[in-house]
């Protein structure tokens, strides 16, 4: 993939994440901060399908942005064909693993499993 497309995704995911995390924070402000972190209230968020979907999108946006950022930093630290392939594929793998694990958590919490 061309680097400009990757960077467009990088900037787009940053903007998307800022917008959605802002919504997430605004939702926290509908009640006291300590209340919003109570177990029942947190679980209630996952039971609300649109909110759970938003959390899933936030997870994807932050994972893509974060791991691409890490990839860029690591590519600047050291160069070499093998190293760069390892970093590129490693970042994609780690990103997929984090999204899978986070999605599993969202799904389990949404289905009432603990």
Partner 1 sequence: MAVETISKTPEVSLPISSDSITLRISRFNPKNDLSPIFAEFKVPIQKWTTVLEAILFVKQNLDHSVAVRYSCRQASCGSCGMRINGKPALACYTKISELNSNIVTVEPMHNFPIIRDLAVDFKQMFANHKKMKPYIIREDSEIASDTKEFLQTPEDVEKYLQFSYCIKCGLCNSACPTMATDESFIGPQGLAQAYRYVADNRDDGKKERLKIIDQSHGIWRCHFAGSCSHVCPKGVDPAMAIQLLRGYLLGFRK
Minimum distance from CB of 2 to partner 1 (Å)? 5
Number of residues that bind partner 1 (CB under 8 A): 12
Nearer to partner 1, 30 or 79 (CB): 79
Nearer to partner 1, 58 or 87 (CB): 87
CA angle 65, 101, 66 (to 5 degrees): 15
Give the tokens for residue 86.
């390892």
Give the tokens for residue 18.
């800022």
In contact, 13 and 65? CB cutoff 8 Å: yes
Minimum distance from CB of 22 to partner 1 (Å)? 24
Name every residue whose Cβ is closer than 8 Å to that of residue 61 and which is 6 or more positions away in sequence: 13, 16, 17, 20
Residue 38 has a CB neighbour count (10 Å cut-off) of 12
Residue 5 has a CB neighbour count (10 Å cut-off) of 9
- Which residues in the 53-112 window bind partner 1 by CB under 8 A? 72, 75-77, 79, 84
Minimum distance from CB of 79 to partner 1 (Å)? 5
- Among 1-9, 40-48, 91-99, 100-108, the segment contacting partner 1 (CB under 8 A): 1-9
Residues that bind partner 1 (CB under 8 A): 2-4, 6-8, 72, 75-77, 79, 84
């Amino acid at each position: 993939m061309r680097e400009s497309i990757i960077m467009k995704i990088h900037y787009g995911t940053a903007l998307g994440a800022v917008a959605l995390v802002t919504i997430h924070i605004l939702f926290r402000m509908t009640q006291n901060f300590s209340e919003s972190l109570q177990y029942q209230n947190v679980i209630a968020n996952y039971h609300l399908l649109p909110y759970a979907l938003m959390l899933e999108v936030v997870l994807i946006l932050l994972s893509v942005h974060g791991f691409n950022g890490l990839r860029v930093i690591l590519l600047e630290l050291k160069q070499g064909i093998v190293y760069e392939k390892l970093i590129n594929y490693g970042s994609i793998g780690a990103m997929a693993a984090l999204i899978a694990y986070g999605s599993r958590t969202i799904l389990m919490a949404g289905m009432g499993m603990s």
